[in-house]
């Protein structure tokens, strides 16, 4: 009598399907924590060394795969280099039309300063962003009566095996998956509201006007530049859906970095960090709100735009992540 409870899976090659390297990174971190916990214990020292040796070998084998799967949060500088993503600078021009009215500005400034006073910035960044984005949504609808504004928290950008990005020089495929903290956009047809707020990314895009701007939030203690690869991965996936360039930003509430990904040239342009300061002044907050408003509602060419100037880094620095 055969044992039908045993299920034999077909053996497969490393190249058959995407290898989830984020799981490998997670396993390494877990084992590293175990190693630190057992450090100095004579009975386990030899075994831990052998385990770490095997993990190193396994990681080297997996990274040879031509199909590598990553969650956005597991992307780092190394992955940007492997994908062939170049870097450049985004410099804002000073002539941005003021848009926020004194009433909205005073109220927003008061709310943000209240958050500074009463909330730990380890978790307070999202509270600040909520207030800022809601104010911008109100202003969009006031300035453009035919427009509706949509704030989309935890916007899912890729599901399943993810979206494939290929480095044509190395023929390596990178499968990216995950979501971004916020998307903010505008639309004009009230009957599409349910689709906008509940639909998948591909369902949303045909009904938008202006830009769908992605926003990734971090804790105040974290350095924004360290998370540029994660946010860039999100923009890359978004560009595969839109078949165009994508605007996005990183923020920890106190600091803001604005970016643009050029799909055609595979370049991410990023601004210098804008810091609001404490206590928050009306002028700094006005500049920030005006800037985000124009980035969302602007319909001009993203690459030849009067709002900013894009400059690719010199060749020896462009791929130096």
Instruction: Print the domain residue range for 44.
Output: 19-65
Q: Could you read off the pLDDT of 88-114 as tens digits, one per residue?
A: 999 998 778 888 889 899 999 999 999
Between 25 and 33, the higher pLDDT residue:
33
Note whether 106 and 152 are same-domain residues. Answer: yes
Domain-located, residue 215: yes
Same domain, 104 and 144: yes
Place of tokens 């600078």: 89
Same domain, 61 and 96: no
In a domain, 75, yes or no: no
Question: 276 lies in a domain?
Answer: yes
pLDDT tens digits, 60-80: 666 666 678 889 999 999 999
Inside any domain, residue 3 = no
Between CA 163 and CA 246 the distance in angstroms is 16
Does residue 311 form part of some domain?
Answer: yes
**208 plus 282 within the same structural domain:** yes
On the question of pLDDT at 1 being above 60, the answer is no
Q: Residue 149 pLDDT > 60, yes or no? A: yes
Domain count, the chain: 2
Q: Is residue 7 part of a domain?
A: no
**Residue at 12 is within a domain:** no
Both 133 and 230 in one domain: the answer is: yes
* In a shared domain, residues 53 and 154: no
Residue 152, domain member (yes or no): yes
Whole-number pLDDT of residue 49: 81
Tell which of 5, 34, 65 closes a domain. 65
User: What is the pLDDT averaged over residues 268-295?
Assistant: 91
pTM for this predicted structure? 0.81
> Of all residues in the chain, what percent carry a pLDDT higher than 70?
90
Statement to judge: residues 43 and 184 lie in one domain: no
Regarding whether 240 and 207 lie in a shared domain, the answer is yes
Same-domain status, 37 and 158: no
pLDDT (tens digit per residue) in 233-270: 999 999 999 999 999 999 998 899 999 999 999 999 99
Whether residues 269 and 310 fall in one domain = yes
158 and 127 inside one domain: yes
């Amino acid at each position: 009598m055969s044992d039908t409870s045993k299920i034999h899976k077909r053996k497969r090659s490393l190249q058959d399907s995407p290898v989830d390297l984020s799981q490998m990174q997670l396993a390494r971190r877990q084992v590293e924590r175990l190693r630190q916990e057992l450090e100095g214990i004579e009975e386990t020292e030899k075994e831990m060394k052998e385990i770490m040796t095997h993990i190193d070998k396994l990681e080297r084998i997996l990274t040879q795969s031509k199909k590598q799967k990553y969650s956005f949060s597991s992307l780092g500088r190394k992955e940007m280099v492997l994908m062939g993503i170049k870097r450049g600078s985004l410099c804002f021009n000073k002539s941005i039309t003021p848009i926020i009215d004194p009433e909205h500005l005073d109220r927003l400034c008061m709310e943000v300063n209240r958050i500074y006073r009463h909330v730990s910035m380890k978790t307070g960044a999202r509270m600040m962003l909520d207030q800022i984005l809601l104010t911008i949504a109100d202003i969009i609808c006031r300035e453009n009566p035919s427009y509706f504004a949509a704030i989309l928290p935890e916007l899912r950008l890729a599901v399943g095996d993810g979206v494939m990005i290929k480095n044509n020089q190395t023929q390596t495929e990178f499968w990216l998956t995950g979501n971004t903290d916020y998307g903010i956009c505008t639309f004009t047809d009230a009957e599409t509201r349910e689709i906008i707020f509940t639909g998948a990314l591909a369902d949303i895009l045909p009904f938008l006007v202006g830009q769908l701007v992605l926003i990734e939030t971090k804790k105040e203690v974290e350095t924004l530049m360290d998370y540029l690869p994660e946010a860039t991965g999100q923009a890359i996936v978004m560009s595969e859906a839109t078949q165009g360039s994508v605007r996005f930003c990183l923020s920890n509430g106190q600091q803001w970095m604005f970016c643009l990904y050029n799909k055609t040239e595979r370049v991410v342009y990023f601004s210098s960090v804008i810091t609001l300061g404490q206590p928050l002044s009306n002028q700094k907050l006005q500049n920030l709100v005006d800037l985000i408003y124009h980035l969302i509602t602007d319909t001009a060419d993203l690459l030849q735009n009067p709002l900013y100037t894009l400059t690719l880094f010199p060749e020896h620095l462009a791929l130096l992540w």
